[in-house]
Chain A
Amino acid sequence: MSVSQPVAIDGAAMRADFPVFDRLTSAGLRLAYLDSAASSQKPRSVIDAVSDAYAHHYANVHRGLYELSTDADARYEAARSALAAFIGAPSHREIVFVRNATEALNLIAYSWGRANLGPGDLVLSTEMEHHANLVPWQQVAAATGANLEYVRVTDDGRLDLDDLDARLVREPRLVAVSHISNALGTINPIAEIARRAHAVGAIVVGDLAQSVPHMPVDVAALGLDFAAFSGHKMLGPSGIGALWGRRELLDEMPPFLTGGSMITRVTLDGAEWNEVPWKFEAGTPAIAEASGLAAAITYLEGLGMDAVRSHERELFALAWRRLAAIAGVRPLGPGSADGHAGVISFVVDGIHPHDVATVLDQQGIAVRAGHHCAQPLMQRYDLPATTRASFYVYNDAEDVERLADGIRSAQRLFGTA
């Protein structure tokens, strides 16, 4: 498929590739799945790849001296290479398989953080981070005596770059920022943030959990030092995700988890570490899931990430128009289609987000309601929670119309319309 001329995605046609949509809700309705920011559904090719790995190619990876094990090993390492190419990593040796973005961020915080941070050092995160890019930094700051500060967000849900600049003057050691806010969908100018942070010598950690699945991402072009993301949000299996890090940083870092596979030599007095990335992959990894993730990458590359982004951009723009037109509904965030991923977070006056979600669920529309693991952001806007709809390749305009109709029906039910 040509990269220069992305073929438009037909969400309704895409659903034929995803077996979950064969299942109707208990009320006999077609599922409008609008919760992909939490986790994506899986195409048949991914499900088949996992099944095939278990059925025909399964043995433990690394060190096996028989054909089946070298076969499994080759597939596991091929998945690593495919992932490296998919995100523009200069080398497959810079991809560490982990369980998910949360584990990747913890790995950076524990390994790089404890080795490099000390009393008085400054670490910058932001008010819009998912707890996964926030709590590990709180923990490492408490353990090392480093100071943790948060870049403020504006009233319309963007990072306040003036506030960033004001804090960068004090030369933080590390800046941890999300590419896309999971709670609001804001696309942050992460390349520009990295450029400014590097100018004062900071290491830049990108939480790419919401961007790698939904738009073209090139970690080298973004100028990051570390990146974290999950397989399950990008059509892949749960239980596998990745940390990308620049080789010279990974080489110098101490291990995170220790045990089998990550060593070259162990005596009763100590151990020597394996090379990266295996130094960070203690124990038996998610082997079949790696094949599933490779199949997800193949699927996404077949669509083209430009086409995926363009599809979600259109759905977002339609959703924003529809929701903003309903009296008593307030969508959150910048609102511009260029500044938003396919995520729309909103509040409905007089109806709690949980109740909105339940009424929508009764109509076969799956959304998320809550704090979206971003409680500081909710506190910033003095909201206990929001309702969030998020889009992916299998959604279409009809899903958006059903969402808008569903919200109106909740307003009628609660007598707030």
Chain B
Amino acid sequence: MDNLYRDFILEHYREPHNRGRLDPHDLAFADSNPTCGDELGMTLRLDESRRRIADVAFDGRGCAISQASASIMTDGLRGLSLDEVLALDPREVIADLGVPIGPARLKCALLGYKVLQGAVQGSAANWPEEADVLAGPSTGGSAP
């Protein structure tokens, strides 16, 4: 019946990867989804070069889409440079979910991404333009 709630998504929701909080940490940020008030926090540890992500964890409560998206996205962060994180394409975060995300659930799917950008850029990080993200997967190759 549902192509949105595939087992893959529900498994990440029930048993999210990288869940928790790192203490001590080098970077931390938290934000909320303006449509529902769900909050998601993220802590990151950098490696000795101070330029690459060594470890990451997220916490907070939210829907299956926001939790699964943060779980899947954080799996791919270890070893990335901060520049690579800044260049991360929100369309790839959506594509990695592997299920169709419409406008109604876009902020759920991008909450983890928004918090990650906040952790790296500071609170100046804005939500991606919805129309750009909904336009489909990136054709460029800038993202890792």
Q: Which residues of chain A have a CB within 8 Å of any CB of chain B?
A: 351-355, 358-359, 361-362, 369-371, 375, 378, 384-385, 409, 413-415
Contacts and interface: CB of A to CB of B under 8 A. Distances in A.
Interface of B: 1-2, 4-5, 10, 14, 35-39, 61-65, 104-105, 108
Nearest to A351: B64
12 contacts: A352-B38, A352-B64, A354-B36, A354-B63, A355-B5, A358-B5, A362-B1, A375-B37, A385-B36, A413-B2, A413-B5, A414-B64
Contacts of A361: 104
B4 A378 contact: no
A375 B37 CA distance: 8
A207 B10 CA distance: 41
A302 B4 CA distance: 44
Given A359-B5, A370-B35, A414-B10, A384 B61 contact: yes
A358 B61 contact: no
B14 to A, nearest CB: 8
Nearest to A386: B36
B4 A358 contact: yes
Contacts of A378: 37
Nearest to A370: B36
Nearest to A354: B63
B41 to A, nearest CB: 14
A20 B63 CA distance: 30
B19 to A, nearest CB: 16
Given A362-B1, A413-B2, A414-B10, A355 B65 contact: yes
Given A352-B62, A355-B64, A358-B104, A384 B5 contact: no
Contacts of B61: 384
Contacts of A354: 35-36, 38, 63, 65, 105, 108
A355 B63 contact: yes
A371 B104 contact: no
Most chain B CB within 10 A, of A351, A370, A384, A413, is at: A384
Contacts of A362: 1-2, 4
Nearest to A352: B63
B105 A359 contact: no
Nearest to B38: A384
Contacts of A371: 36-37
Contact of A384 (B14, B37, B64): B37
A384 B104 contact: no
Nearest to B64: A355
Q: Would you list the 10 A-B pairs with minimal beta carbon distance, nearest first?
A: A352-B63, A354-B63, A385-B36, A370-B36, A371-B37, A355-B63, A355-B64, A384-B37, A384-B38, A370-B35
B37 A353 contact: no
B105 A358 contact: yes
Contacts of A353: 36, 63
Contacts of A359: 2, 5
A157 to B, nearest CB: 18
A354 B107 CA distance: 11
A370 B1 CA distance: 24
Nearest to B67: A352
Nearest to B63: A352
A63 to B, nearest CB: 42
Nearest to A378: B37
A373 to B, nearest CB: 11
